[in-house]
Structure 1
């Protein structure tokens, strides 16, 4: 049985009709305009007090580098935030990054990558690739965990596959949180999953996926939909997925591919959990976060 707080958050989100609002194109574009007006969230006071925060830009897109002032370890987290490839980083992402740094002493790179619909994947990936290569030069590829939630989870897998294809240094491991791996949103499980999901809708996700693919381009190709590319010769992967998440279907399909291709994959299911539940202030998230930390540190996840 899920916690009372998790049920309460789900109740509020359903009451606010978030899923229906994001499914409607005009309403979704209003949300997007509001997001652009507010801009991306910045690292908060804790980061300024307990770490050294530096910034640099790649093609006018900001990248944050964060190093703890004390107890800095060998681990480095390369975090790609979620938001349907269209919305800016928000405070819950920074809260998660803070928890990871506090618990592991890791440093972190957080690219504010080019967003859709102003940009598509072909304009965004080169920025993130440059940020990753800079992190490799500074921290060593073997020490890096590429990690992301939702669209950032899809981005994390796609980036790792691209590194493999281009013969570039691979990260030590990859963590995918409620990853969006198929931008076409055409899995036969998803109409039923949509009934339980309080955030995501099939129509809203398809619209965002087409934005990411580019006008008139096919969304069912790599890296827009990294699920459709080979997953051989990748570093160890951990997936965290909720059974009441529209994108649960993507996680299951990746696990099936991993089983067939002998990819080292650890699969964590949050029963009755919603999209990106591991970032929420709930009891279930604390367990997931402990498992995430263990995986980063090379322990049994």
Structure 2
């Protein structure tokens, strides 16, 4: 049985009709305009007190490098935030990153990568690749966990596949949180999953996927949809998703692909959990974080 707080959050999101608003093109663009006006969330007071924050830019896009002042470990997290490849990093991302630093003693790199629809994958991947290579040179690729939620989860898998294809040093581990792996939202089961999801819709995903692919480009192509690329010779992957998430279909297809190719992918399913539930202030997310920390530090 899911917690009372999780049920309450789901109730509020459904009451606010978030899914329907994001699915409508005009309303979604209004949300996006407001997001651009507000700007990205920044690391809060805790970070300023307990970590060293270093900022630099790649092609005009900010990259945060954060190191704990005390209890630092060898672990480094390369975190790619979600938001349909279009929305900026928000406070819940920073809250999650804070908890990971506290629990694992990890240093963290957070690229604020170029966003759609102003940019597409071809402009965003080079920025993130440069940020990763800098982190790998500083911390050692084997000590890095590439991690992301939703679109950031898709980006995390696509980045790791691209590193492999280019013969570059791979991270030691990969963590995917409700990852968006198929930008076409073409799985038949997603029509039913859409009835349970309070955030995502098939139409909204397809619109955002085309933005990320770029005008006139195929959203099923790699790396826009990393699900359809090879998963051979990748580092161990921990995959978290909820059974009431539109992207549960992507997670199941990736796990099925892993079985066929004998890839090292562990799937953790939150029963009746929504999209990116592991970032929320609920009991179920605390358990997920414990599993995430165990995976990073093992």
TM-score (norm 1): 0.99
Q: Tell me the alpha carbon deviations over residues 52-97 of structure 1, each in whole angstroms, 9 at most, x when there is no partner.
A: 0010000000000000001110000000000000000000000000
Matches within 5 A, 1:163-202: 163-202=163-202
Q: Distance in 2 between matches of 1:72 and 1:112?
A: 24
Q: Partner of 2:147 in structure 1? A: 147
Q: Partner of 1:116 in structure 2? A: 116
| 1:52 to 2:52 alignment | yes
Matches within 5 A, 1:215-254: 215-254=215-254
Q: Distance in 1 between matches of 2:248 and 2:104?
A: 28
Gaps of 5+ in 1: none
Q: Tell me the alpha carbon deviations over residues 25-53 of structure 1, each in whole angstroms, 9 at most, x when there is no partner.
A: 00000000000000000000000000000
Q: Distance in 1 between matches of 2:104 and 2:15?
A: 37
Q: Distance in 2 between matches of 1:135 and 1:111?
A: 11
Q: Distance in 2 between matches of 1:68 and 1:286?
A: 21
Q: Tell me the alpha carbon deviations over residues 1-34 of structure 1, each in whole angstroms, 9 at most, x when there is no partner.
A: 1111100000000000000000000000000000
Q: Distance in 2 between matches of 1:285 and 1:105?
A: 19
| 1:95 to 2:95 alignment | yes
Q: Distance in 2 between matches of 1:226 and 1:73?
A: 31
Q: Tell me the alpha carbon deviations over residues 201-229 of structure 1, each in whole angstroms, 9 at most, x when there is no partner.
A: 11011000000000010001100000000
Matches within 5 A, 1:13-92: 13-92=13-92
| 1:276 to 2:279 alignment | no
TM-score (norm 2): 1.00
Secondary structure at the aligned position of 2:257 is classed as: helix
Matches within 5 A, 1:283-298: 283-298=283-298
Q: Distance in 1 between matches of 2:207 and 2:238?
A: 28
Gaps of 5+ in 2: none
Q: Tell me the alpha carbon deviations over residues 82-130 of structure 1, each in whole angstroms, 9 at most, x when there is no partner.
A: 0000000000000000000000110000000000000000000000000
Corresponding pairs, count: 298
Q: Distance in 2 between matches of 1:262 and 1:171?
A: 19
Secondary structure at the aligned position of 2:92 is classed as: helix
Q: Distance in 2 between matches of 1:5 and 1:97?
A: 21
Runs of 4+, deviation exceeding 6 Å:
none
Secondary structure at the aligned position of 2:266 is classed as: strand
